[in-house]
A and B are shown apart, each in its own frame.
Chain A
């Protein structure tokens, strides 16, 4: 069945009826099973890794996994058109939540500060972290915006997307949270690439970004600057940082390497991690725990699963019949994979230590649930396919 394209009005202005299901059908064999399986694998691996040193938290993580799967089941059953329709609204609400975190007069009962950072909103018995969901809603919003070539082919359009992206980035940076903020840039780049932006424009933007990035250095907070310094130093073989700001990184590297090829086993790894005082061993540094307990094989398993997730997401994007679906899939895949890369890179000493967690693996309810919802979106896109290709859908 061909799709009629009308030239009378820009597509984006045409109202589409929610019940218009002519153009899509439900499928059960699709690529999104691969990311789902990878996500499940990573989640279980994470529970096992957390259990090395904190069995209680492992149980809680299992509970979060259950919640995440339930939420994912719910979201995955929805049609992605709803998401496209409400993308901007969801994005705006999410940004408002981020802004809300920064409002100084909010009582601590609502915004619970932790370790000097204001990242969580207390909703009942759970802490809800807006910055996790904003990654998803931003991808959706960007995908909804960039699905027409109008924006993406023009340089002004590219700049406009950058400006819009800067809003949540800035709000996150002010939390303060360097880590999540850096994911937006590369993901936006990939999405622009996928949407068909001209390479010229992207090259210009990339050059400007490369020039500007070191200029932002003085604006960073001290501990963020220290970490970048420590990384440079470590890579250059300067051992002075090992006991100071580089302490966290160095212990992680030592423990990760101590696992050898096949790992040290549960008991030994638990002991080593405890007495070597690895900080954040169930959140940021969980990869070191995996490498210590299961060795290089375990670490490679994480990478393989992550690559499977990304590959699956890209394949979903390839097979998606709509630009929206393609962009969402590509955005999700690259964002999750990038986060995985950055976290593992920082654990083994290739990148500055940031507070970025390992997706699906690190302990954290809101992060796990948000990621499973993200995976469910992929599922939704993949399972409701459009026959042929509708660029504007």
Chain B
């Protein structure tokens, strides 16, 4: 019941109403003010950013593939090159099937018509969508089948590659989400997990390359297919890698070869010239690539950074071996980008940055020539009886590995003045190894680049270096002489013998043969062991090791193939850095030298002087050491690259300041070893006792040392069943290392190192190969080879004092 007292007067009511409405009005005005402030902040203060963000969504970006740099030899001949090609790429929704689902709803709706669709209940919609899904799946399968046919790819292979991409992308997505979740946990606490929104990553909407190097015809067919069925696949312009010298043909002149091998010119088809060095590329993108250099990386602050040169899941062109791999980052270049403005269609294009071209110091023609010498048909690199010889009664000496067994070997040719590598051949090459059976491959390891990765005992090759070291160290006079009585320790001691102090040579000694103590030239040319035991003993193991190290042993010369490999454990932590691609060889370590000193072990010391014991080196180090000797001690380590590349560490410099007179005498000893009949590298003897000079190249002077280094026993699998059947002992590596120059100039221009693993006698097995290498140098124009210009030589006689009481026998 209303009471009069409840009713206010009209005037008062109005003012109460007015008051209240005023309050309401003020509240609303304040709300409006807040809105205005917010809009002001957005539009005026941050308007530019928002505009830029809105406009960025108008752009569609596509990537252009990288253009890989070219690898050339010293004369500009192309060794590896990229030529235009086509790639097939599938969009990710087509790879994981989401394409079907994305289209099914829209297609079902369009088919039913908007009116009918709105009327349908969920069950009927579901049924129609499912029917559409089946249709679309069939379409997708048909398109993929057509694509694989056009690309000449087996359907299961295509499915496998799609699976790979999917795995990689999903792995990446998980990693990205993990990283984001970590950030959000840090920012927002533990509750971040429930609220975490796993947004699809960019790779899940992009296209991924599935097949590369498609010919134009296939690309054309695929482009038509792509236009007919949008959203499934696309054809991208790309490149493919070609290696012009992956096969080569050569006509080999055999007139200068050892007599049993002579014949008409032999035409040879070579495969994989310098393939150890040049390397190759692979198509698959591996996990380590995506980890090392991803195209998109989520930084520490959550920002996404794009590296245009980075790797994306799918297929690409990535260096897998050799120079292609070592300098992958340089050769790769960066991708280009086209940005298309969706409304106007204007396109801006950023061209791909071409990768750096790399020029090697190799002469590929020389390399091919040298490689051809190793082919089995030629006969230089298989076991021959004249490597091992015949005994006094004319019976062939046993060949440990068997007759005409293919051997492994390596050749390094180095320019003395510039220290550039002209040729570096390792046999068997990777291409030759492709024809091997599994057992052969295990036995012969074609993937190893023996020129730089195989460390073998130097044997007698090291002797001239010991001599100049002893002179430099002041423990031996340049003209001193040493008596060779066949043994350094006791007469019956098994160790410390000279190589001719044996039953088959009737326990001869060099002093006996020469009628007195030997000087260095005689010692080198005849390869007397006692002389060098003496020198090594005088130097001591420490000085000798240090001297070897100065000459480049026991370390990587870093010619440009080294690859820094960071080793990671399963959790991704760095456990070490391995420098792969070159072997350092071995020298006695601190501990080993300490043990030798402590035990008073003079055997180990003296055999170090003849290149046995704890010392190993690679053919590269051999050539490099001889080049250093030829330069009088100036250190300039071998180099494979002519192009300046960053990331190469500082190289060794310095001068060992060898005594010039000692150098001359050492070189003279080397010359005699090859050019005088008493030299160990002078001739090969055949069954009928006739001889032939090992080095028969005209117009050149050769200073070289033969070496026969004892090798450990090996186990041989004869019947290729995977288990070794017999152990072969008595093996020796054959070395022939030296210098060659024009006779007219009479100074060494090139260093050559040849090794034939398990070849036996160095002079007989490796020597003929070296001879052919010299002929190859002449053929390629590096040496003149003019016989008429050869000067007469005289054998220098010793001057001054230097006669040293032989110390062999004393403790």
For A299-337 the 0/1 string (1 means CB < 8 A from B) is 110010001001100100110000000100010001001
Q: How many A-B residue pairs have CB under 8 A?
A: 141
Within 8 A of A (CB), among B1-42: 1-2, 4, 6-8, 10, 13-14, 16-18, 20-21, 23-25, 28-29, 31-32, 34-36, 38-40, 42
Cα A7 to Cα B44 with chains together (Å): 62
Query: B28, A261: Cβ atoms under 8 Å?
Result: no
Taking CB atoms, residues of chain B closer than 8 Å to A299 are: 39, 43
Query: A253, B43: Cβ atoms under 8 Å?
Result: no
Query: B47, A258: Cβ atoms under 8 Å?
Result: yes
Considering the complex, give the chain B residue whose CB is closest to the CB of A275. Answer: B58
Number of interface residues of B (CB under 8 A): 51
Considering the complex, give the chain B residue whose CB is closest to the CB of A262. Answer: B43
Given contacts A194-B21, A196-B13, A275-B343, contact A348 B42 (CB under 8 A): yes
Query: B35, A303: Cβ atoms under 8 Å?
Result: yes
A240, A295, A337, A349: the one contacting B38 at CB < 8 Å is A349
For A35-53 the 0/1 string (1 means CB < 8 A from B) is 0000000000000000000
Cα A388 to Cα B21 with chains together (Å): 20
Taking CB atoms, residues of chain B closer than 8 Å to A296 are: 39-40, 43-44
Cα A113 to Cα B10 with chains together (Å): 50
Query: A194, B17: Cβ atoms under 8 Å?
Result: yes
> Is A156's beta carbon under 8 Å from chain B?
no
B10, B36, B51: the one contacting A260 at CB < 8 Å is B51
For B689-708 the 0/1 string (1 means CB < 8 A from A) is 00000000000000000000
Query: B43, A291: Cβ atoms under 8 Å?
Result: yes
Segment at the B interface, from A72-80, A146-154, A169-177:
A146-154
Taking CB atoms, residues of chain B closer than 8 Å to A311 are: 25
Given contacts A254-B54, A257-B51, A258-B50, contact A190 B24 (CB under 8 A): yes
Query: B119, A108: Cβ atoms under 8 Å?
Result: yes
Taking CB atoms, residues of chain A closer than 8 Å to B188 are: 238
> Is A350's beta carbon under 8 Å from chain B?
yes
Query: A260, B44: Cβ atoms under 8 Å?
Result: yes
Taking CB atoms, residues of chain A closer than 8 Å to B34 are: 350
> Is A389's beta carbon under 8 Å from chain B?
yes
Query: A391, B46: Cβ atoms under 8 Å?
Result: no
Taking CB atoms, residues of chain B closer than 8 Å to A277 are: 57
> Is B55's beta carbon under 8 Å from chain A?
yes
> Is A181's beta carbon under 8 Å from chain B?
no
> Is B184's beta carbon under 8 Å from chain A?
yes
> Is B195's beta carbon under 8 Å from chain A?
yes
> Is B102's beta carbon under 8 Å from chain A?
no
Taking CB atoms, residues of chain B closer than 8 Å to A148 are: 2
Query: A317, B36: Cβ atoms under 8 Å?
Result: no
> Is A365's beta carbon under 8 Å from chain B?
no
> Is A24's beta carbon under 8 Å from chain B?
no
A7, A193, A348, A350: the one contacting B24 at CB < 8 Å is A193
Taking CB atoms, residues of chain A closer than 8 Å to B36 are: 300, 303
Taking CB atoms, residues of chain A closer than 8 Å to B4 are: 7
Cα A40 to Cα B793 with chains together (Å): 118
Number of interface residues of A (CB under 8 A): 60
Query: A256, B7: Cβ atoms under 8 Å?
Result: no
Considering the complex, give the chain A residue whose CB is closest to the CB of B122. Answer: A116
Query: B43, A257: Cβ atoms under 8 Å?
Result: yes
Query: B44, A254: Cβ atoms under 8 Å?
Result: no
Write the nearest CB–CB distance from A115 to chain B, whole angstroms. Answer: 9
Considering the complex, give the chain A residue whose CB is closest to the CB of B40. Answer: A296
Write the nearest CB–CB distance from B16 to chain A, whole angstroms. Answer: 6
> Is B797's beta carbon under 8 Å from chain A?
no
Query: A194, B20: Cβ atoms under 8 Å?
Result: yes
> Is B598's beta carbon under 8 Å from chain A?
no
Given contacts A254-B53, A261-B43, A296-B39, contact A193 B6 (CB under 8 A): no
> Is B154's beta carbon under 8 Å from chain A?
no
Taking CB atoms, residues of chain B closer than 8 Å to A354 are: none
> Is B199's beta carbon under 8 Å from chain A?
yes
Taking CB atoms, residues of chain A closer than 8 Å to B21 are: 193-194, 314, 317-318, 330
Cα A320 to Cα B14 with chains together (Å): 11
Taking CB atoms, residues of chain B closer than 8 Å to A264 are: 51
Considering the complex, give the chain B residue whose CB is closest to the CB of A246. Answer: B197
Taking CB atoms, residues of chain B closer than 8 Å to A303 are: 32, 35-36
Taking CB atoms, residues of chain A closer than 8 Å to B23 are: 193
Cα A120 to Cα B736 with chains together (Å): 99
**28 A-B contacts, Cβ less than 8 Å apart?**
A112-B118, A148-B2, A149-B6, A150-B2, A190-B24, A238-B188, A244-B197, A254-B54, A255-B50, A256-B43, A257-B46, A257-B47, A258-B55, A259-B47, A260-B51, A272-B55, A275-B343, A291-B43, A296-B43, A300-B36, A303-B36, A307-B28, A314-B25, A334-B28, A345-B35, A348-B35, A389-B10, A391-B10
If A113-B118, A194-B17, A318-B14 are given as contacts, then 5 extra A-B residue pairs at C-beta distance below 8 Å, sorted by A number, are A150-B2, A193-B24, A275-B58, A296-B39, A341-B35
